[in-house]
């Protein structure tokens, strides 16, 4: 059964085509730097044991343009893997926010779409492009079953002490105001791979997912028990354009004393803050280039980014009452050795000591980067949200 997985992030769109139950994709791709001055498409095809890679540089103003380019590539005579789009029997969509209504993978219908739209305000950078992906896919693949895999589902195991806020309880009971958690497909996939690698069913893990959006999860025995993001995917770690944790007094100061509207503050914290607000660059690759040229704002942004990670590691070691493995994943987590080193610096009291030489080695496999005498393992595990989404989609439509 051919299954297409669409993973729309805030500034990127990843896709894979699987011939399930085979877990090896027949095609993968990345539409990157959406909304920036220069965009790119990297499209890889796997045939007869060989890999072909095609790269396209083009303006990609929004996710709809990116998806249209993807579908063209899939049926291209030279670059494609499908004779017709009807070969795709199901499409698994990553959807960031599912509220409390969706605790599992769900076939998409009109009611599900309406709920995804209702949650736009809680995930303004993600649910709209997720919804766009669904709308475009319905037009292009009218005979395929559309399936939603929600980021929030994995975190439904968090206990009330972790997901409730210290606000009047009717806001939770009547309005659903609570912490939901995000990047669930990534945290679930990586934690499963870690448990398999460690050969331990019972384990205490901290997964650090670092990309344009970043989050960190405390995982005990395979279940999420605390997570850095909350009602929406804005809190916690510093991100590309999102502020992460912030004193709520700042919001009221901006509105009451500085004349900002609520919408302007929301846009400020979601789209103009984080790395972008600190130094003018939202992409970590651009931040590092600026550091190399002597940009002091970029240096400070990098240090703040790492400092926030360290604070969460310390708090989650306390929540777990110990730690078996600290795991880095996603684009920055997997590829930025300097960030891993900065985030682990001076954590030896917690049993976390990095080996600088091991940390600099690159590999697509799971690798250990801790020092020989480190009680806690430090792992770099490539995430594969698309495979997790594909497997969940296949299980749902194949039952």
Residue 181 lies in a domain: no
CATH number at residue 289: 3.30.420.40
Percentages (nearest 5) of helix, strand, coil residues in the chain? 40, 20, 35
Active site residues: 151
Q: Which of 150, 180, 213 is the last residue of a domain?
A: 150
Q: Which residues of 117-140 are buried (b: 16+ CB within 10 A; e: fewer)?
A: eebeebbbbbbbbbbbbbebbeeb
- Residue 211 and residue 98 share a domain: no
- Residue 288 and residue 231 share a domain: yes
Report whether 79 belongs to an annotated binding site.
Answer: no
Q: Phi and psi (nearest 5°) for 130? A: -60, -45
- Structure token digits, residue 334: 């997997």
- Residue 283 and residue 209 share a domain: yes
Q: How far apart are CA 337 and CA 209, in angstroms?
A: 14
User: With 0-12 CB in 10 A as exposed, 13-18 as middle and 19+ as buried, what is 381?
Assistant: buried
| pTM score, whole prediction | 0.85
Mutual angle of helices 63-74 and 127-140, in 10-degree steps: 40
**pLDDT for 215-236, tens place per residue?**
999 999 999 999 999 998 899 9
Query: In the chain, what is the straight-line distance between the N-terminal and C-terminal CA atoms, in Å?
Result: 13
- Residue 288 and residue 371 share a domain: yes
* Tally of structural domains, the chain: 2
Q: How far apart are CA 218 and CA 216, in angstroms?
A: 7
- Residue 373 and residue 248 share a domain: yes
Beta pairing partners, 57 = 40
362's enclosing H/E stretch is: none
Residue 317 lies in a domain: yes
Q: Phi and psi (nearest 5°) for 267? A: -65, -40
Residue 393 lies in a domain: no
Residue 193 near residue 222 (C-beta atoms within 8 A) = no
Residue 306 lies in a domain: yes
**pLDDT for 350-386, tens place per residue?**
999 999 999 999 988 999 999 999 999 999 999 988 8
Report whether 181 belongs to an annotated binding site.
Answer: no
Report whether 184 belongs to an annotated binding site.
Answer: no
The helix/strand/coil state of 149 is: strand
- Residue 214 and residue 126 share a domain: no
Instruction: Look up the domain containing 68 and give its range.
Output: 2-150
Q: Where are the alpha helices (DSSP H) in 164-210?
A: 169-175, 184-198
Q: How far apart are CA 279 and CA 297, in angstroms?
A: 5
Report whether 216 belongs to an annotated binding site.
Answer: no
Q: Which residue has the tokens 């896919």?
A: 137
The helix/strand/coil state of 162 is: helix
- Residue 367 and residue 236 share a domain: yes
Residue 163 lies in a domain: no
User: DSSP class of residue 257?
Assistant: T
Report whether 331 belongs to an annotated binding site.
Answer: yes
User: DSSP class of residue 126?
Assistant: T
- Residue 227 and residue 91 share a domain: no
Residues of the chain with pLDDT under 70: 201
Q: Which residues of 250-283 are buried (b: 16+ CB within 10 A; e: fewer)?
A: ebeebeeeeebeeeebbebbbbebbbbbbbebbb
- Residue 112 and residue 35 share a domain: yes
User: With 0-12 CB in 10 A as exposed, 13-18 as middle and 19+ as buried, what is 97?
Assistant: buried
Q: How far apart are CA 87 and CA 75, in angstroms?
A: 10
Q: How far apart are CA 355 and CA 370, in angstroms?
A: 5
- Residue 144 and residue 57 share a domain: yes
Residue 192 lies in a domain: no
- Residue 337 and residue 265 share a domain: yes
Residue 184 lies in a domain: no
Q: How many helices (H) and strands (E) does the chain have?
A: 15, 14
Report whether 7 belongs to an annotated binding site.
Answer: yes
Beta pairing partners, 367 = 380
Residue 25 lies in a domain: yes
- Residue 139 and residue 42 share a domain: yes
The helix/strand/coil state of 284 is: helix
pLDDT at 169: 96
């Amino acid at each position: 059964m051919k299954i297409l997985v669409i993973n729309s992030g805030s500034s990127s769109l990843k896709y894979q085509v699987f011939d399930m139950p085979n877990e090896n994709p027949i095609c993968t791709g990345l539409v990157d730097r959406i909304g920036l001055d220069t965009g790119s498409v990297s499209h890889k095809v796997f045939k007869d044991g060989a890999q072909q890679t095609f790269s396209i540089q083009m303006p990609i103003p929004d996710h709809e343009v990116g998806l249209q380019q993807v579908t063209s590539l899939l049926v291209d005579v030279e670059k494609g893997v499908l004779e017709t789009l009807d070969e795709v029997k199901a499409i698994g969509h990553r959807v960031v926010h599912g509220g409390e209504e969706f605790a599992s993978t769900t076939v998409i219908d009109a009611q599900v779409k309406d709920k995804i739209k209702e949650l736009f305000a809680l995930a303004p950078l993600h649910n709209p492009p997720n919804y766009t992906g669904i709308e475009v896919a319905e037009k292009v693949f009218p005979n395929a079953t559309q399936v939603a895999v929600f980021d929030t589902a994995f975190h439904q195991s968090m206990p009330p002490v972790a997901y409730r806020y210290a606000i009047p309880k009717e806001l939770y009971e009547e309005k659903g105001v609570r912490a939901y958690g995000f990047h669930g497909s990534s945290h679930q996939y990586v934690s499963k791979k870690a448990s398999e690698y460690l050969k331990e069913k019972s384990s205490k893990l901290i997964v650090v997912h670092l990309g344009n959006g970043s989050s960190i999860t405390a995982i005990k025995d395979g279940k999420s028990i605390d997570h850095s993001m909350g009602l929406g995917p804005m809190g916690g770690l510093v991100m590309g354009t999102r502020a992460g944790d912030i004193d709520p007094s700042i919001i009221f100061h901006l509105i009451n004393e500085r004349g900002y509207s609520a919408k302007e503050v929301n846009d400020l914290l979601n789209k103009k803050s984080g790395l972008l607000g600190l130094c003018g660059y939202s992409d970590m690759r651009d931040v590092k280039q600026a550091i190399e040229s002597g940009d002091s704002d970029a240096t400070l942004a990098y240090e703040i980014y790492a400092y926030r990670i360290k604070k969460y590691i310390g708090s989650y070691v306390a929540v777990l009452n110990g730690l078996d493995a600290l795991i880095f994943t996603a684009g920055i987590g997997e590829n930025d050795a300097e960030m891993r080193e900065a985030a682990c610096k001076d954590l030896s009291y917690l049993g976390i000591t990095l080996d600088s030489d091991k940390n600099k080695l690159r590999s697509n496999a799971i690798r250990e980067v801790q020092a020989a005498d480190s009680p806690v393992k430090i792992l770099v595990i490539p995430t594969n949200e698309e495979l997790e989404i594909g497997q969940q989609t296949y299980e749902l439509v194949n039952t």
